[in-house]
């Protein structure tokens, strides 16, 4: 247990530039406090004590705002950043060096007995407010974007965003666990693709209409002149998704 607590302390020093000293981490990091108390309650749970583990977990919840069931299995070097509102269910399993932000839920679905909460492999990052639900497995080195809802298994080295969560990127490249700004904007990308396709179709329809009108009055041309449609260049759309040319680096 002491090795796990040392790992939890070390990972905070490694990943949080705001961590300035030993006493600050001990007294001012609720995520660290919650993990230390959980490791104690988990030991008590393994001894089959009837009330003490759950009582300690409730005390931890009152002190830190983080609710961890005593039966949950948590590896070494786990970092719960800020942590308010984090909920970790009874059969949840968290691998080494995982990072959870505030508002994360590792929850169950239904009332079935047995394994009903998710398993996070090593080096998984779960963004603020994300929900990972059910007896699913999230592969190592995976990032789950803030506010996402994940209900299906996720392979390793993936990036998951959206409701329901969708894998939008998959590779073997090592990632920076704190680089949330690097998550792709999938909704904007989809809208851009649709805009380009609709714009192309509108251009073709407009060109064909002009060609037919010219034929009807005896004006013929050897080739069709395709003109650019302006219907999809509205100010509101550009403000919502950003300029297509300047934001091309966001495309997957």
Which helix or strand (DSSP H or E) is residue 64 part of?
Answer: helix 52-64
Of the candidates 182, 204, 229, which is a domain's last residue?
A: 182
Q: Among 58-62, 125-129, 156-160, which stretch is predicted with the lowest mean pLDDT?
A: 156-160
Q: Are residues 42 and 145 in the same domain?
A: yes
Q: Are residues 135 and 238 in the same domain?
A: no
Q: Are residues 161 and 213 in the same domain?
A: no
Q: Are residues 67 and 146 in the same domain?
A: yes
Residue in 136, 128, 146, 139 with CA at minimum distance from that of residue 170: 139
pLDDT in tens, 19-41: 788 888 888 888 899 999 999 99
Q: How far apart are the first and last CA of the chain?
A: 42
Of the candidates 155, 182, 209, which is a domain's last residue?
A: 182
The number of distinct structural domains making up the chain is 2
Q: Are residues 201 and 164 in the same domain?
A: no
pTM over 0.75: no
- What percent of the chain has pLDDT above 70? 77
User: Domain limits at 198?
Assistant: 186-250
Q: Are residues 226 and 102 in the same domain?
A: no
């Amino acid at each position: 247990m002491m090795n796990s607590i040392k790992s939890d302390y070390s990972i905070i020093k490694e990943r949080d530039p705001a961590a300035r000293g030993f006493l600050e981490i001990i007294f001012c990091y609720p995520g660290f406090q919650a993990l230390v108390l959980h490791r104690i309650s988990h030991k008590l749970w393994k001894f089959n004590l009837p009330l003490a583990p759950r009582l300690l977990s409730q005390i931890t919840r009152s002190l830190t705002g983080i609710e961890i069931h005593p039966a949950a299995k948590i590896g070494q070097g786990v970092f719960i950043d800020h942590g308010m509102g984090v909920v970790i269910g009874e059969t949840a399993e968290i691998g080494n060096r995982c990072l959870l932000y505030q508002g994360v839920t590792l929850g169950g679905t239904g009332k079935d007995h047995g394994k009903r909460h998710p398993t996070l492999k090593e080096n998984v990052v779960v963004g603020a407010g994300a929900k990972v639900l059910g007896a699913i497995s999230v592969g190592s080195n995976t990032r789950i974007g803030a506010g996402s809802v994940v209900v299906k298994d996720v392979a390793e080295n993936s990036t998951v965003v959206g409701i329901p969560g969708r894998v939008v990127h998959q590779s073997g490249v090592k990632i920076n666990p704190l680089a949330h700004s690097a998550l792709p904007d999938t909704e904007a990308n989809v809208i851009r693709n649709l805009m380009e396709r609709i714009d192309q179709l509108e251009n073709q329809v407009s060109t064909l209409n002009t060609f037919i009108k010219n034929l009807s009055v005896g004006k013929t041309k050897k080739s069709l002149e395709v003109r650019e449609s302006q219907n999809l260049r509205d100010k509101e759309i550009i403000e919502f998704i950003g300029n297509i040319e300047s934001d091309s680096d966001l495309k997957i």
